[in-house]
Chains A and B, each alone.
Chain A
Amino acid sequence: MRANLQTAVHHGETLTPRAYSLRTGASVGPGLAWLGALFLGPLALIALISLLSRGEYGTVGGAWTFENYRRLAGFGLLGFDSLYPLIIARSVLLGLTTAMLCLSAGLPLAFFIASCKGRYKNLALTLVVVPLWTNLLIRTYAWQMLLGPESSLTQVAALFGLAEADEGLYPGLFAVSLCMVCDFLPFAVLPIYASVEKLNWSLVEAAMDLGANRVSAFRHGIVPQIKPGLTAGFILVFLPAMGQFVIPDLLGGAKTMLLGNAIQQQFGAASDWPFGSAVAMVSLLVAMLALWLMARHTGDDELNIL
């Protein structure tokens, strides 16, 4: 029997090239169509609109221009204006802070869950995910009540001189950080837990055997192994946290502008779609830049971590 070189063997099944491409099309096609029509298309539109300008009555038109991006970078009509650069910096900072707080809280939690036995492990994992069952707005309003004036939390804080009992713990940076960490913690814990679960502890023993103390053994025996989990956790928290504005608005006092509400404002009240599109494109670029930096860092895990 002559082997037909054109025939592909797929999971033990023999397929003709035609059948194979049909199958590929059937499995990948719907997803691609969805992404193309509802993601890539609109994204291209936004990219185009960001290069136009606002006409009278909020219409989109005019000639191709980079004016929107110039304005975002701070070169407005009236000389340098730090408003938009600050908004970008503030959003990145919010994302970074939330991601770092979530990683530091999620790491010990992931180790704790991994050390749980049988049933308790599943219970602990469920408890981590439970907050996601409630709507974000409801959770945020709940924090307003918990942190408000005369609430029991505020009174405890007042006992230690950390707050004025009649003023409450919000609005403020503390309230925003607290709520952000609570909302994004599951996205940090789950990927870290997945990598802790399959830790090879003999590397830790090898490190200690070679003279590493507890801290060094953690750094050289554990961290390189859970790095993929830490990276995934960071990305999963950083990206949405950077675009988050409901929590900063509701718990931060709605005094500061972030990328999220800047976009909302331009598409809404200000009716400046081109500028709003530019803000959206820049926030996308910032996110991609962050991802690229992460990828470069994790690809380069040589001895320089020592």
Chain B
Amino acid sequence: MHLTAELKRKADPVATSAPTPAIEMAEISRRFGDVTALAQVSLSVRRGEFFSLLGPSGCGKTTLLRIIAGLDIPDEGILRIAGQDAAGLPAHKRPVNTVFQSYALFPHLNVRENLEFGLRMKKTPPAERARRVSEIMELVEISELSSRRPSQLSGGQMQRVALARAIVNQPQVLLLDEPLGALDLKLRKQLQLELHALQQRLGTTFIYVTHDQEEALVMSDRIAVMNAGRIEQLGAGCDLYERPRTRFIAQFLGSCNILEAAVQGRTGGRLEVRTKFGNLEMDLGPSARPLSPGDACTLAVRPEKVALRVDRNPHNANCFPARVAELIYTGSETQYHLEAAGGMLKAWVLNTRVGHQGLHAGEEIQVQLRSDALILLDD
């Protein structure tokens, strides 16, 4: 499509040479009275990337987005947008556009007029304006809503209009502040895929704020998980999920069993630890933490990586007996709460066989924590 090519060119003028990052920030801090919303956040977002800021409410992710948009000013720190220093650059002069959580559509303008607003402000000639607006309306499938007022739109339609109103300006970076938060689950899942496809097609850098970890995992190239005004960990979704560095990441992103442990010994890439479930062996992984016998550490195990065995003769390592205390059937999987001698443990089993799994509450089984499923946390 003609428009897509145009947007792509604009987003990435020199496609081959080493591009400057879309967003660079160094030690950005923001305080509201006594509350520190952002504490020295440094970040670099690549061009054409789908980048998510993920975190619980109050973690500072929306403040970070507003600082990029120019709707809030940092107390300290440097921000560059497409290589240009953004200090002193007012919101209306920044090459970014925002999709607001509340959509913030102009109630007195119809859909087409809402879309035209940004182009009018930039004094785009009427003919080009009309062409671009029509193309975007087609792209996000809202052409038939053209003359409706925002009050006559459903939540999903308003979301599309808000998105179209932002991208029609061909921003260098599109900022999205929990745009799907107000929609029901099914529509949210559909729009997640559409947003991802749209981003791929336009090649525009997207910065997406959300508190929904699944949403972030579905769409993002990279995710920065924020907590209490800091970026706790940054990486691709699978890195964050498979190798969480902190207790917070392990528990915020998905579900996790946390084990307190003491180091017993270390041989090459393997570590022997003592836990409430007995002595366990684990792969050390890429962690470069110097650990010596006697040190305390924290381990994490994803519940779906806990292996359950019915056989009573386990000579495998990291095995211990447990009893099924409770089971929750969720359709695709069954979640077991296991009671071992050392304490409780969560285990999720995918229901691959037709009919139930055969485990009942009260049944005695063997649990295996495979050495590569144990993750060593930093805190």
Contacts and interface: CB of A to CB of B under 8 A. Distances in A.
The answer to whether A and B assemble together is yes
Contact of A208 (B71, B105, B106, B113): B71
B120 A306 contact: yes
Contacts of B98: 205-206, 209
Interface in A250-304: 301-303
Contact of A301 (B91, B96, B97, B108): B108
Given A205-B91, A302-B113, 13 more contacts: A205-B69, A205-B100, A208-B91, A208-B92, A209-B91, A210-B92, A210-B97, A211-B118, A213-B92, A220-B106, A220-B117, A221-B106, A303-B113
Interface string B139-176: 00000000000000000000000000110010000000
B107 to A, nearest CB: 7
A203 B122 contact: no
Interface in B50-97: 69-71, 90-93, 96-97
A227 to B, nearest CB: 8
Contacts, number: 72
Contact of B122 (A202, A207, A211, A302): A211
A216 interface: yes
Interface string A188-210: 00000000000010110111111
Interface of A: 200, 202-203, 205-213, 216-217, 220-221, 224-225, 301-303, 306
Contacts of B69: 205, 209
Contacts of A208: 70-71, 90-92
A224 B104 CA distance: 13
A205 B92 contact: no
A224 B108 contact: yes
B127 interface: no
A-B pairs, top 8 by smallest CB distance, nearest first, are A211-B121, A210-B118, A206-B104, A224-B108, A202-B104, A208-B91, A209-B98, A211-B92
A29 B302 CA distance: 73
A221 B71 CA distance: 14
A305 to B, nearest CB: 8
A15 B102 CA distance: 41
B109 interface: yes
23 contacts: A202-B104, A205-B91, A205-B98, A206-B100, A207-B117, A209-B71, A209-B92, A209-B98, A210-B118, A210-B165, A212-B92, A212-B117, A213-B90, A213-B92, A217-B92, A224-B106, A224-B108, A225-B107, A302-B108, A302-B109, A302-B113, A303-B116, A306-B120
Interface string B319-363: 000000000000000000000000000000000000000000000
A216 B69 CA distance: 18
Contacts of B120: 306
Nearest to B109: A303
A206 B106 CA distance: 9
A61 B92 CA distance: 70
Contacts of B92: 208-213, 217
Contact of B104 (A203, A211, A306): A203
Given A202-B102, A203-B104, A209 B97 contact: yes
A306 B165 CA distance: 17
Contact of A205 (B71, B108, B117, B166): B71
Contacts of A212: 92, 117, 121
A210 B92 CA distance: 6
A303 B104 CA distance: 17
Contacts of A207: 106, 117, 121
Contacts of B108: 224, 301-302
A216 B121 CA distance: 8
Contacts of B97: 209-210
Contacts of A306: 120
Contacts of B122: 211
B115 to A, nearest CB: 10
Given A211-B169, A212-B92, A303-B109, A205 B121 contact: no
A210 B100 contact: no
Contacts of B106: 203, 206-207, 220-221, 224
Interface centre among A209, A213, A221, A301, by most B CB within 10 Å? A209
Contacts of A213: 90, 92
B161 to A, nearest CB: 12
Contacts of B165: 210
Nearest to B113: A303
Nearest to A224: B108
A212 B169 CA distance: 13
A207 to B, nearest CB: 7
A220 to B, nearest CB: 7
A205 B69 CA distance: 10
Nearest to B96: A209
A221 B117 CA distance: 11
A277 B104 CA distance: 52
A165 B107 CA distance: 54
Given A211-B169, A213-B92, A202 B121 contact: no
A217 B90 CA distance: 13
A205 B62 CA distance: 14
A217 B106 CA distance: 11
A295 to B, nearest CB: 16
A12 B213 CA distance: 44
Contacts of B100: 202, 205-206
Contacts of A303: 109, 113, 116
B206 to A, nearest CB: 15
A210 B117 contact: yes
A216 B117 CA distance: 11
B96 to A, nearest CB: 8
